[in-house]
């Protein structure tokens, strides 16, 4: 196995799943297993590196002094949807375009995943059907390491000073917490955490979340007439009064949504949690206002119930920052074009660590990894595109 792929395989075999119920930072101690390996490999290349008290790996490769320092960042954790333990990656050499058997129960067919047709005649890495692959984002980790190794082994190749950061807990939205732009030291950076090599992500959602607590009045159903106020009925009334088609399953592109992620309760009380998303920050504010109006509407209908609504904003659309300081995007466009790649831009229907880094002083668009179907057992890596990304990132930091 080639060294770049072997490194990727080594990383995905380490279980680094994060945990959104944990109070610690990082959320799981097993993320240190990968952090320590990355640190020791960077030190093996002769780079100074450290794991800070929050489990973030910072490192630095000095380059041409008159050039701006460019940052490279990826995350170490894997998603919560499915286990990342005992990942057994399978290499499919020279893919024949047929059904890929992951195990006795699960297969991937080009009918279900039409994208696979693009990869006939090339190599893929897939799961063994029981876990995710973890290419999100260990492909990013491996791409960065390969680029660093290249410049360390080829000192005659001039390059920008390179700041390196591996973060835990991206999947639970805590990756950018404790981000130290000064320590990182980059003028701008790139997260390597996307899919298609030709895509440069410069837009994310603006994000907020809402917590609703409804206190009803419970009473024996036999004597409930004109007395019972069923908290669950109020919860469903609330949800059904929101704009019906502003939901993830009905929206795409720049359309925002409300997404009910949990509803728990009894007739006596109910708790609801929503995430609210829009690329346009004004429209997000309007959505937040709409939610408050609906809260008041339900409260007026049922004055004896108690309805508490609290809304907090989370990350913001990084486009705001990248428009003001376009150096990272312009540099990427120039480099992609010099490699004969026409970069494409699509609004991300989600967030990236880079969105928050951008607001914390380091403009950070997101680039591809050559991996797809993240957060599930059908996740796969295109070896060809993974190597294309290594080439692209090498060129981005080249002098
Ligand atoms: Zn990711």
- If asked whether residues 198 and 218 sit together in one domain, one would say no
Domain count, the chain: 2
Ligand 1 center–CA 325 separation, angstroms:
24
Handedness of CA 73, 389, 41, 32 (dihedral sign): positive
Per-residue pLDDT, averaged over 119-140, amounts to: 98
Structure confidence at residue 221 (pLDDT): 96
CATH number of the structural domain spanning residue 261: 3.30.70.360
Q: Which residue in 77, 137, 193, 379 is the catalytic one?
A: 77
Ligand 1 center–CA 352 separation, angstroms:
8
Ligand 1 center–CA 189 separation, angstroms:
16
Ligand 1 center–CA 320 separation, angstroms:
22
Average pLDDT value over all residues in the chain: 97
Ligand 1 center–CA 194 separation, angstroms:
7
- If asked whether residues 235 and 304 sit together in one domain, one would say yes
Ligand 1 center–CA 79 separation, angstroms:
8
Residue 333 pLDDT greater than 90, yes or no: yes
Decide which of 288, 313, 338 is a domain's last residue: 313
Ligand 1 center–CA 226 separation, angstroms:
51
Residue 252 pLDDT greater than 90, yes or no: yes
* Number of continuous H segments (helices) and E segments (strands) in the chain: 10, 17
Q: How confident is the model at residue 225 (pLDDT cuts 50, 70, 90)?
A: very high
- If asked whether residues 322 and 309 sit together in one domain, one would say no
Residue 342 pLDDT greater than 90, yes or no: yes
- If asked whether residues 75 and 153 sit together in one domain, one would say yes
Structure confidence at residue 177 (pLDDT): 86
- If asked whether residues 175 and 267 sit together in one domain, one would say no
- If asked whether residues 44 and 164 sit together in one domain, one would say yes
Structure confidence at residue 1 (pLDDT): 81
Q: 139-177 burial by CB neighbour count: b if 16+ within 10 A, else e?
A: bbbbbbbbbbbbbeeeeeeebbbbbbbbbbbbbbbbbbe
Coil/strand/helix, residue 377? coil
> Residue 311 is encoded by which pair of tokens?
């809304």
Ligand 1 center–CA 78 separation, angstroms:
8
pLDDT in tens, 355-389: 999 999 999 999 999 999 999 999 999 999 999 99
Helix axes 231-241, 281-301, angle to 10 degrees: 140
Residue 242 pLDDT greater than 90, yes or no: yes
- If asked whether residues 237 and 113 sit together in one domain, one would say no
Structure confidence at residue 32 (pLDDT): 98
Least confident of 1-5, 143-147, 383-387: 1-5
Residue 263 pLDDT greater than 90, yes or no: yes
Structure confidence at residue 307 (pLDDT): 98
Structure confidence at residue 8 (pLDDT): 98
Q: Is 170 a catalytic residue?
A: yes
Structure confidence at residue 229 (pLDDT): 98
Give the full edge-to-edge strand order of the sheet including 269-278. 257-265, 269-278, 206-215, 306-313
Q: How confident is the model at residue 84 (pLDDT cuts 50, 70, 90)?
A: very high
- If asked whether residues 118 and 212 sit together in one domain, one would say no
Gap between the Cα atoms of 21 and 24, Å rounded: 9
Structure confidence at residue 390 (pLDDT): 98
Q: Which residue in 141, 170, 187, 196 is the catalytic one?
A: 170
Using a pLDDT cut of 70, give the percent of the chain over it. Answer: 100
Q: Residue 34's CB: how many other CB atoms inside 10 A? A: 26
Range of the domain at 331: 3-203+316-397
Structure confidence at residue 95 (pLDDT): 98
Ligand 1 center–CA 168 separation, angstroms:
11
- If asked whether residues 32 and 178 sit together in one domain, one would say yes
Structure confidence at residue 301 (pLDDT): 97
Structure confidence at residue 144 (pLDDT): 98
What is the DSSP-derived secondary structure letter of residue 14? S
- If asked whether residues 85 and 19 sit together in one domain, one would say yes
Per-residue pLDDT, averaged over 299-324, amounts to: 96
- If asked whether residues 20 and 158 sit together in one domain, one would say yes
- If asked whether residues 321 and 385 sit together in one domain, one would say yes
Q: Is 153 a catalytic residue?
A: no
Decide which of 280, 313, 346 is a domain's last residue: 313
Ligand 1 ion local residues (Cβ < 5 A): 136-137, 193
């Amino acid at each position: 196995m080639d060294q770049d792929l072997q490194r990727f395989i080594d990383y995905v075999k380490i279980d680094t799943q994060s945990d959104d119920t944990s109070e610690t930072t990082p959320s799981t101690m097993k993320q240190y297993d990968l952090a320590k390996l990355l640190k020791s490999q960077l030190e093996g290349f002769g780079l100074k590196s450290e794991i800070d008290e929050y489990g973030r790996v910072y490192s630095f490769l000095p380059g041409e002094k008159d050039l701006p320092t460019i940052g490279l960042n990826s995350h170490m954790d894997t998603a919560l949807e499915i286990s990342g333990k005992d990942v057994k990656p399978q290499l499919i050499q020279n893919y024949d375009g047929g059904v890929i058997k992951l195990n006795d129960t699960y297969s991937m067919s080009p009918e279900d995943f039409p994208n696979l047709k693009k990869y006939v005649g090339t190599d893929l890495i897939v799961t063994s059907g029981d876990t995710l692959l973890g290419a999100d984002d260990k492909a990013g980790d491996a791409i960065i390491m390969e680029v660093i190794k290249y410049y360390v082994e080829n000192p005659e190749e001039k390059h920008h000073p390179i700041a390196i950061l591996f973060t835990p807990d991206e999947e639970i939205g805590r990756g950018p917490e404790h981000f130290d732009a000064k320590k990182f030291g980059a003028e701008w950076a790139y997260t390597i955490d996307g899919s298609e090599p030709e895509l440069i992500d410069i837009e994310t959602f603006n994000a907020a979340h809402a917590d609703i607590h409804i206190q009803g009045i419970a009473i024996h159903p036999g004597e409930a007439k004109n007395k019972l106020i069923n908290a669950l009925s109020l919860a469903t009334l609330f949800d059904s009064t929101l704009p019906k088609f502003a939901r993830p399953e009905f929206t795409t592109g720049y359309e925002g949504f409300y997404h009910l992620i949990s509803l728990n309760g009894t007739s006596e009380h109910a708790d609801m949690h929503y995430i609210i998303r829009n690329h346009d920050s004004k429209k997000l504010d309007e959505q937040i206002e709409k939610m408050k109006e609906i809260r008041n509407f339900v409260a007026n209908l049922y004055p004896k119930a108690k309805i508490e609504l609290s809304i907090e904003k989370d990350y913001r659309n990084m486009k705001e920052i990248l428009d003001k300081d376009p150096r990272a995007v312009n540099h990427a466009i120039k480099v992609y074009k010099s490699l004969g790649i026409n970069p494409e831009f699509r609004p991300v229907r989600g967030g990236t660590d880079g969105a928050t880094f951008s607001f914390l002083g380091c403009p950070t668009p997101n680039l591809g990894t050559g991996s797809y179907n993240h957060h599930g057992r059908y996740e796969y890596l295109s070896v060809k595109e993974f190597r294309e990304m290594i080439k692209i990132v090498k060129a981005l930091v080249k002098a």
